[in-house]
A and B are shown apart, each in its own frame.
Chain A
Amino acid sequence: MKTKLTEMAPWLAYFVIFVSMIFAGSDHSIHVASQIIILGLFAIAFNVLFGTTGLLSFGQAIFYGLGAYITGMMAKSFGADFFLWALLIAPVAALALSAVLGVLSLRLSEVYFTMLTLAFAQLAWGICVKWSSFTGGDDGIQAIPKPDILNMGGRNYYIFALVIVSICIYLLWRLDRSPFGSVLKGIRQNPIRISFIGLNVFRHKLFAYMISSSFTAIAGGLYAGIDKSIHPDMLVWTMSGSIILMTILGGMRSFFGPLIGVAVFILLEDVIGRSTEYWSFVIGIIMITVVLLFPKGIVGVSRHFAGLFAKKGGQFDNP
């Protein structure tokens, strides 16, 4: 598939914004930007399942937590050098775990799939909290060491995370535009036809689940380096839930929509949280407004206005 100029525009915006953060940002804004790119990777990986394949998993936090705990525990027990190795091991472990959980849960349809993924994640969260001798329990793991070069201020780590996140997002973007990605979109729209043309629906769903989960684990591993601390809340269901919300808020039918949703949500939380105690009330009102007025998420709004100037809109979803 040949890349059109209009399709490069989001990439351009992505690099302009996040690279400029390296030079312009204060410590606080670098911290916020690190959170945005890492959760953005989580959300984009989640959307491979949700927006592309049509599978609503309510338990992707299990892989986020897996990545974080593998990274945190390896770096803590074997030393800072293992921080980087852990970032490689985390996605492999997620691949293995998601293969097992995927085989069990993908047989189920719709809400039952959603609830089973939720149950697995909650079980993992519970184990994480209760098995304190192994995981640190409620307190999580603090003071995770990382290589010296990543330690000088938040900026170095932000650059490191940005490089890894950008590579991951690029891979997922290629996947989205590949024949495999088209099959996933076909499964969402009409699974019976996909099986009629001789493709194995279950196997494609399983691969999508495994790919999404392993990228999620990378995001979790990267998160362990921001504050050098991880906690069981990374696995609890509200974590999966907020990723779902941010994805829908941004626009699940566009590749970069989830990232935009994450950025908007985190920035709102940051700004409103400083000015009022009742920030979740304000976020609730904003979410209702988005749902009622902008049925395609935030990306839908910008496309609407872009459509006034260009003839062809919605290029991302065209297989």
Chain B
Amino acid sequence: MTFEIFISQFFGGLSVAMLLFLVASGLTLIFGVAKVFNFAHGSFYMLGAYFSYQAISMFENFWIGAVAAALGAGLVGMLLEICFIRRIAGREEEGAFQILLTYAFILILDDAVKYIWGPAYKTISKPDSLAGSLDFGQVTIPTFNLFIIVLGLVIVVAAWYVLSRTKTGKIIQAASTDTQMVGMLGVNVSLVMSLVFGVATAMGGLAGAMAAPLRTVAPGSGVEVIIDSLIVVVIGGLGNFWGALFAALLIGEVNAFGILWMPQWASLLSFAVMIVVLIFKPKGLFSREKGRKKI
């Protein structure tokens, strides 16, 4: 392997990893921090891509599309939380019903998208300002990929700062740990949960808009990303944004180099990585608590 190939594979893996992290960050917020199993997170990613497609075809501006994707997916997410998810909170089998409910969202959103925009693939082009590429000697890297890498870093720092350095972050963490107690302290817990759900789905929608120029926009694309993002969230440790970032990098790079090494089996590497991680670190890479049950 020459140095040029190494560098270009490395940056290829890096931008795949950052896309993965963008989707997974919303999931780690909702699943790891707020403890809601949102199986439909990938569908908000898909929804974001379609909202962005719609906005771009109306206003012909990529950035308006990105804003529309985040706002639209966030609003739909909040609406679904208020109408449905909130109503099963506190039930005896809450987790199982969350799976059932959010799986129903997948089915409904997939078909709704197919009904509104048709089953055909849609494409979004990169914004003009980021359409070029940068030359580093013999290696060229598309500007848009660099932008995604920077965006991922901004999100991880922002999420870490808000969650662990501000009062809002403390309230969010406490609200899922001891709902009743936080409620007694005068916090409107259900509003907090709706907002967290909205922010998480907005992050999913934004990821969809950002991924759209690199992939295609199609119904059912949400189901493809949900498993990958679950892997990232679990390897990184639930609710750990830095962990998710590391896990996304690991998966992205393993895939990028794996495809050179054994092209046929590359798609299985993510699962192999997860198996190895979970066997040796039963609660993900960055968990302080001991994962094995003491019994």
Check: A116 CB closer than 8 A to any chain B CB: yes
Q: How far is the CA of A271 from the CA of B85 in the complex (A)?
A: 28
**1/0 contact trace for A79-116 toward B, CB 8 Å?**
00000000000000000000000001001110110011
Decide yes or no: A280 and B271 within 8 Å by CB, A107-B282, A202-B295 being known contacts.
no
CB of B278 within 8 A of CB of A108, answer: yes
* In the assembled complex, B214 has its CB within 8 A of some CB on chain A: no
Say yes or no: is B146 at the interface (Cβ < 8 Å to chain A): no
Give the contacts of B51-88 with A (CB-CB under 8 A): 84, 87-88
Q: Is A127 an interface residue (CB 8 A)?
A: yes
Partner of A111, one of B108, B115, B238, B295: B238
Say whether B134 faces chain A, with CB atoms less than 8 Å apart: no
Asked if B158 is at the interface of the complex by the 8 Å CB criterion, the answer is no
A127-B268 contact given A281-B108, A284-B104, CB 8 Å threshold: yes
Is residue B267 within 8 Å, beta carbon to beta carbon, of the partner chain?
yes
Q: What is the bound-complex CA distance between A143 and B141, given in angstroms? A: 51
Q: Is B256 an interface residue (CB 8 A)?
A: no
Stretch at the interface among B4-12, B95-103, B160-168, B172-180: B95-103
Interface residue? A283 (CB, 8 A) = yes
Interface bits B266-287 vs A (CB < 8 Å: 1, else 0): 0110011011001100111000
A210 at interface, CB cutoff 8 A: no
Distance (whole angstroms) from the CB of B29 to the closest CB of chain A: 15
Which A residue sits closest to B230, measured CB to CB?
Answer: A115
User: Is B288's beta carbon under 8 Å from chain A?
Assistant: no
B interface, over-half SS: helix
- Which of B104, B110, B111 is in CB contact (< 8 Å) with A287? B104
Q: Is the CB of B107 within 8 A of A201?
A: no
Indicate with 1 or 0, residue by residue over A246-262, a CB within 8 angstroms of chain B CB atoms.
00110010000000000
A145 to chain B, nearest CB (A): 31
Please indicate the chain A residues that have their CB under 8 angstroms from the CB of B105 in the complex: 284
Distance from A269 Cβ to chain B, minimum over Cβ atoms (Å): 11
Contact of A291 with B230 at beta-carbon distance under 8 Å, contacts A112-B283, A281-B111 already known: no
Judge whether A104 and B279 touch: CB under 8 Å. yes
Interface SS, A side: helix
Contact B97 A291 (CB under 8 A): yes
Collect the chain B residues with CB atoms within 8 Å of residue A126's CB: 265, 267-268, 271
Evaluate contact between A107 and B292: CB separation under 8 angstroms.
yes
Chain A residue contacts of B284, Cβ below 8 A:
112
| A245: Cβ under 8 A from any B Cβ | yes
Report the minimum CB–CB distance from B188 to chain A (whole Å).
23
**B22 on the A face (CB < 8 A):** no
Q: Which of A112-141 contact B (CB under 8 A)?
A: 112, 115-116, 118-120, 122-123, 126-127, 130
A237 within 8 A of B: yes
Are B108 and A248 in contact, CB atoms less than 8 angstroms apart? Answer: no
Roughly how many angstroms separate A108 CA and B230 CA in the complex, as a whole number? Answer: 16
Known: A115-B274, A119-B278. A285 touches B108 (CB 8 A): yes
C-alpha gap A119/B272 in the complex (Å)? 7
* Known pairs A278-B115, A281-B112, A291-B97; A122 contacts B295 (CB<8 A): no
In the docked arrangement, what's the CA distance between A120 and B279, Å?
A: 12
Task: Point out the residues of chain A lying under 8 angstroms from B265, CB to CB.
Answer: 126, 130
A112 touches B275 (CB 8 A): no
A291/B279 contact (C-beta < 8 A), A112-B234, A280-B110 known: no
In the docked arrangement, what's the CA distance between A149 and B278, Å? Answer: 48
In the complex, are the beta carbons of B268 and A287 less than 8 A apart?
A: no
Chain A residues 220-239 with CB under 8 Å of chain B are 237-238
Question: In this complex, what residue of B is CB-closest to A295?
Answer: B91
Tell me, yes or no, whether A192 is within 8 Å of chain B by CB. Answer: yes
Closest to B267 in A: A126
> Which 4 residue pairs are nearest across A and B when measured between Cβ atoms?
A284-B107, A281-B111, A284-B108, A287-B104
